Chain A
Amino acid sequence: MVLTGAEIVIRCLQEEKVDYVFGYPGGAVLFIYDALFQQEKVRHILVRHEQAAIHAADAYARSTETVGVALVTSGPGATNAVTGIATAYCDSIPMVIISGQVPTAAIGQDAFQEVDTVGITRPCVKHNFLVKDPADIAATIKKAFHLAKTGRPGPVLVDIPKDVSAQSAEYHYPKSVEMRSYNPVVKGHQGQIKKALKLLLEAKRPMIYTGGGVILSDAAAPLTKLVRKLGMPITNTLMGLGGYPATDKQYLGMPGMHGTYEANMSMHFSDVLLAVGARFDDRVIGDPAHFAAEPRKIIHIDIDPSSISKRVKVDVPIVGDVKEVLEELARLLDESKHEQDTVSLATWWKQIDEWRSRDCMKYKNSDEIIKPQYVIEKLWEVTGGDAFVTSDVGQHQMWAAQYYKFDKPRRWLNSGGLGTMGVGMPYAMGAQLAHPDAQVACVTGEASIQMNIQELSTCKQFRLPIKICNLNNRYLGMVRQWQELFHGGRYSESYMDSLPDFAKLAEAYGHIGIRVDRPADVEGALREAFSRKNDLVFLDFQIDQTENVYPMVQGGKGLTEMILSAEDL
């Protein structure tokens, strides 16, 4: 069948069962938008800024098991998309981004709205393509989806010149992809898995540390089963929250810079550490030399060989899909005649419980001023712990991660790797579209929300009843916290004047806005918001301006060198 390049693009998306494309039109993608218009299977969400299109598609992928898809025009469309693409890349999110390009003959001529999109995005995509012939579109898009979702997932960009989308070619969508240069390992090495199991069973102070890889490979269920069976302590990183139920007693909270005392101490003093789909990030282990100074054996399961032994030396590397390896580990455990050192484990738990009893997450609540931690605790209660929670970047993000107890995977959506302010609302949009009946909350700050505030308009157009919880401290709070602690209290440009009246702003966009000033009104406002099933409600919580995030491991310090509360300073 002969179709135009643009029609081929849309047919490919249909073949891939894409429900939503997030995008914004422009000259170079007019043919593609025309083809989109003439069909109904693939629906388009018109955002108000291309960055939001990428974030929303990214969230769609994060909150489901699918590949997120976005469509942008050439030049400024593509450059606006770059932050979104880099955000997805840093968190290994499967996405396909289609960008328009100037006509083939104009490439390199400094044409109107021409940028080297493939060049600009190269360092922040898993792979990218420039398609020069309409006959190559189908095979390229097939490859793009394949690359995006297999191996270590990531965004893949397909750049299509305008003439290529206009010309016709024979259409045929390939059934499968063969790439001699790309064959990610899926199954873990048997011998290594056996070695790992032996180490774990013999461990005196075992600790399990899991990250975003568990979420991405849908391994929460096998992980939970295995960890329960082993009876060992576990921590989930910021990207791994929900990988193991947070309300379970074996769960020690998040590790790292703003992690719990018990999680960090257990990481540090473990004798066998099982790392699963995690990458020993600087925000998680602090100073690698300090971390390495304490002897322990490390088992590392990861799909990406380059993540292994990158920042810390690993004793038992296992390259493979996290889910496959965990299932195999569980199978071998069932068969194993090896006895677990349960006596030592009991002693270890005693030690951990002692650390736990420091109650590092306690905070002083107030009747007069709203404490952010309190808002999140109430949010958790009001939503029954079952909402999709997105966040932006800053103190509010850490409070959300610390105080909302995620029991399920894919419920917590945030920019962990790149730390992109502005993801919150578009993430909520993507999650709400993927789960129309679910409760979706966006925990944000007054600075972050303004980085994509225009999306209130998109939410109106597509009737997305997300609940925005703005923890409004009138400060770039996280910046202010660092300035308070490490820069002599010189608050250089971290205070923002002339903030809008967010409640009125929400109303101007046709939504409901509620300003909340008193602690006594927090719960009521949340209940009111979530009872409005069809409305977007913007809750503007006026919180304590000077509240800081604790516990804290200062950048460059060791995991055990924690500031537990303001009194520690």
Chain B
Amino acid sequence: MRHVIALLIENESGALSRVSGLFSARGYNIESLTVAPTEDASLSRMTIVTTGSDDIIEQITKQLNKLVDVVKVVDISESAHVERELMLIKVRATGKDREEMKRMADIFRGRIIDATDSSYIIELTGNQTKLDSFIGAIDTTLILETVRSGIVGIGRGDRILKL
């Protein structure tokens, strides 16, 4: 099962390697991992997307909690939450493809943030499936380059991950 784990960690050098090292040492999957400081610069927030049986997810959250620098761990996918990912995709945009690309970007509520006479960079946010469907919907031979941020996630309503 896919899980989205959010955690707060002391913003110290090496914090990321402690987390990624834990995953590789214990053979846990990481589908994506994002990290950046929060409004409190002494804390970083990570969103980790992982897969595993309930037992493994239980171990993952326990092992993360055990890391001395980790302040809080929540499996936000256990209840209502929002996930977003950012994708920048550079596509060939010439001839009739140029118009088609613009149309697809509009349908997916993407924005063209850079254009040359032969290419576009399209910015797209959404959950993973939306970004996947965009890639599925366009002619993949036109893709020059893609970069995705990995998922960030947050619990809905009263579910707050804060100190």
Contact = CB atoms under 8 A, between A and B. Distances in A.
Interface string B20-42: 01000100000000000000000
A123 B68 contact: no
Please tell me the size bucket of the interface on A.
10 to 19
Interface in A179-199: 179-182
A119 interface: yes
B132 interface: no
A179 B71 CA distance: 9
B65 A122 contact: no
7 contacts: A126-B68, A130-B14, A180-B71, A181-B68, A181-B71, A182-B68, A306-B59
Interface of A: 118-119, 122-123, 126-127, 130, 147, 179-182, 304-306, 309-310
B66 A306 contact: yes
A123 B14 CA distance: 12
Given A123-B25, A306-B59, A306-B66, 7 more contacts: A122-B21, A130-B14, A179-B68, A180-B163, A181-B71, A309-B55, A310-B59
A309 B68 contact: no
A310 B17 CA distance: 24
Given A119-B17, A123-B25, A306-B63, A181 B55 contact: no
A127 to B, nearest CB: 4
Nearest to B10: A181
A108 B66 CA distance: 29
A422 B161 CA distance: 47
Interface of B: 9-10, 13-14, 17-18, 21, 25, 55, 58-59, 62-63, 65-66, 68-71, 163
Contacts, number: 36
A181 B70 contact: yes
Contact of A147 (B65, B68, B70): B68
Contacts of A306: 59, 62-63, 65-66
Contact of A309 (B21, B58, B66): B58
Q: Which of the listed residues A122, A130, A147 has the most CB atoms from chain B within 10 Å of its own CB?
A: A122
A25 B26 CA distance: 35
Contacts of B13: 130
A305 B65 contact: yes
Given A182-B68, A309-B55, A118 B14 contact: yes
A567 B139 CA distance: 73
Contacts of A181: 9-10, 68-71
Contacts of B71: 180-181
B126 to A, nearest CB: 33
A127 B68 contact: yes
A130 B59 CA distance: 28
**Which 5 A/B pairs are nearest by Cβ-Cβ distance?**
A306-B62, A127-B68, A181-B71, A305-B62, A182-B68
Nearest to A119: B17
B54 to A, nearest CB: 10
